[in-house]
Chain A
Amino acid sequence: MNFIETFGVSLEAILSNKVRSGLTMLGVIIGVMAVILLVSIGEGARVYITKELTGLGTNLLIITPGKTTTRGGFHPPSAGTVRKLSYDDSLALRRRAWLLTDAVPIVLGTGKIKYQNLGRDTMVIGTTPEFQRVRNLFVGIGNFVSQGDVDSKSKVVVLGTTVKEELFGEQSALGKVVMVSDARYRVVGVMQKKGTSLGWDIDDVVFIPVTSGQELFDTDGLFEILASTTRAEDVDPAIAQIKDILIKRHAHKEDFTIQTQGAMLSTMDTILGVLTAVLGGIAGISLLVGGIGIMNIMLVSVRERTREIGIRKALGARNRDIMAQFMIEAMTLSGAGGIIGIITGVGLALIIPVFIDVLPTSVSLWSILMAFSFSAAVGVFFGVYPARKAALQDPIQALRYE
């Protein structure tokens, strides 16, 4: 009895009870669909975040005050006897750390920006001209903060497009005077539009010279220093250089932390990879439940067709013929369910981002292959027991079965 033959017999049996077969398949369909969908969402987040972070430059080094032993992620500057990072530190790095292309000081705070009767609370970043290059954010109209502005503590501001549109609408903002936390600042430029990244509006920000920022926030320290190297292989020697220079300046104490974008990236990648695996695993449980559904139905089917098994055996069917018949039936149910599940899962994964834009998805081939082979394996695994039970029926008992 060849495969096509057996397949025909199995298909016939499946089609003779359409509702039951459909419901049985539904379990597998939902399972496979859930695996693909959830893995796509997890993968989507991973791909998206990787892309966003890579867009900021992988040769980026972030120097923050305070010593932490953890690698990657954000953490607030720890309190205590820590010496702050100063603007002079960034100047020293720029002068002496020749592996660095840039060393950009950053002060960060929130402030209220007002123009006439309109106001907006936004993020205020104090920095230097090189910020543009390091962060890949460039001025669109007018000029960015210049070195002269930094040196002379000028009260000039560059607006993010969101802030510009809030305060000025269609009007030109260049040359206008706005209030930044009760100090008068002249608008010298408007940034290019960048959009939203990871739910954060990059354009909802204003830039001022770092020295003006220190005055505004009443601090002589920095939030962080952003540095970058030209080549990826310079990152590690550059870290050594930075340490060497800063430790000497900080009374021989390593009271700062250097993070690399690469390290943050791989940390994020690991976290999101685990997240994806967990999501997939949870969905896998529903696939397992679907498999149990198949076994359940197959057991009922074997019992219902006990007499048929007896007749077939009397007519010359070998145990393996009966086994094959029921195995193929189980595998057809799970295989068809798997295919339908893949179609709906991929379909949903492609449709979801259209309606929910904060939920990027990425359909990966491996999740499809995994879900399908898993569903086929479920068919085999949960089909074996009922099929064996069918194959080992005693023909005489089976023929007498009512």
Chain B
Amino acid sequence: MHRFIMIELSNITKTYRMGEVDITVLSGISLKVQSGELIAIMGPSGSGKSTLMNIIGCLDRPTSGAYHFESREISTLSDDELAAVRNSKIGFVFQTFNLLPRFSALKNVEVPLIYSGVPARLRRERAVPVLEQVGLSDRMHHKPTELSGGQQQRVAIARALVNNPPLLLADEPTGNLDSRSGSEVLDILTGLNRQGVTIMIVTHDKDVAARCKRIINLKDGQIINDQVIV
């Protein structure tokens, strides 16, 4: 498979202003991610993992530094342009699933398609196979409250995948799951990676990290270790 540099962060900083004090969350992060990588981002609480993921995921802008996604400078894009990037290029999987509670699994998976302008009748055609892919073909019309945690997370993964994004960001995807469901979710993620999806997982869990090909350790807003596991 042809590999290219998908993400390039150059000296990224992020500072929040809390009243009178500036809090530096990220201080000078430089990082390159190639397409097809499976990366774990680890580090203690407050090390800046989530902020880094938010910036990579175009939910947040860096205070300084440059962020190139597929060779395109991201940090200067408008809100609407960022929304388009999130919609078509990036899939999110959250620790708390973040499904829309009033919608069925199928409707939840269709949401990103709404915002990419796919007509209603085509949305279903595209959402169903993705749900089948995560093994939920029999649960499509259930609402999130009628699903187990593992099933909800699989709906969330299906939702993240429905637009075929090249990058999938997972923030503690197994954090709220029992070990069996967690390992099922990880199986799905590693399977997707084998099909070529670039995946970055924020995790505390060493077992999760152990299944990744590269582990980046953060501390106090800086990368302290970046190792490729062969």
Contacts and interface: CB of A to CB of B under 8 A. Distances in A.
Contacts of B163: 316
Interface stretch (A135-143, A222-230, A317-325): A317-325
A314 B111 contact: no
Interface in A273-323: 307-308, 310-321
Contact of A318 (B57, B83, B159): B83
B5 interface: no
Interface string B114-134: 111100100000000000000
B102 A16 contact: yes
B115 A315 contact: yes
A310 B163 CA distance: 19
Given A16-B102, A315-B111, A399 B83 contact: no
Contacts of B94: 399
B4 to A, nearest CB: 23
A314 B56 CA distance: 12
Contact of A319 (B54, B60, B80): B80
A1 interface: yes
Interface string A3-19: 00100000011001000
Contacts of B60: 396
A315 B102 contact: no
A52 B114 CA distance: 62
Contacts of A13: 102
Nearest to A15: B102
Contact of A316 (B54, B102, B116): B116
Given A1-B114, A321-B115, A399-B98, A315 B54 contact: no
Interface stretch (B85-93, B172-180, B182-190, B219-227): B85-93
B102 A318 contact: no
A34 B102 CA distance: 36
Interface in A236-282: none
Given A5-B114, A16-B102, A313 B83 contact: yes
A318 B115 contact: yes
A316 B120 contact: no
A319 B159 CA distance: 20
Contacts of A311: 98-100, 111
A395 interface: yes
A319 B115 CA distance: 11
B79 interface: yes
Nearest to A315: B112
Interface in A363-402: 395-396, 399
Given A5-B120, A396-B54, A396-B59, A316 B112 contact: yes
Interface residues on chain B, size class: 20 to 34
User: Which of B87, B102, B115 has most A Cβ within 10 Å?
Assistant: B115
Contacts of B114: 1, 5
Interface in A1-46: 1, 5, 12-13, 16
A308 B159 CA distance: 15
User: Which of A1, A5, A16, A318 has most B Cβ within 10 Å?
Assistant: A318
Interface in B116-160: 116-117, 120, 159
Contacts of A308: 100
Contact of A315 (B79, B117, B120, B159): B159
B15 to A, nearest CB: 15
Interface in B70-114: 79-80, 83-84, 86-88, 92, 94, 98-100, 102, 111-112, 114
B102 A12 contact: yes
B112 A318 contact: no
A312 B86 CA distance: 11
A108 B83 CA distance: 85
B92 A318 contact: no
Nearest to A316: B87
Contacts of B111: 311-312, 315
B92 A314 contact: yes
Contacts of A314: 57, 59, 86, 92, 98
A81 B173 CA distance: 104
User: Which of A307, A315, A317, A396 has most B Cβ within 10 Å?
Assistant: A315
Nearest to A402: B96
A321 B79 CA distance: 12
Contacts of B86: 313-316
A220 to B, nearest CB: 89
A317 B120 contact: no
7 contacts: A12-B102, A308-B100, A313-B86, A315-B115, A315-B159, A316-B163, A319-B79
Given A316-B87, A318-B83, 6 more contacts: A313-B83, A314-B86, A315-B86, A315-B159, A318-B115, A396-B60
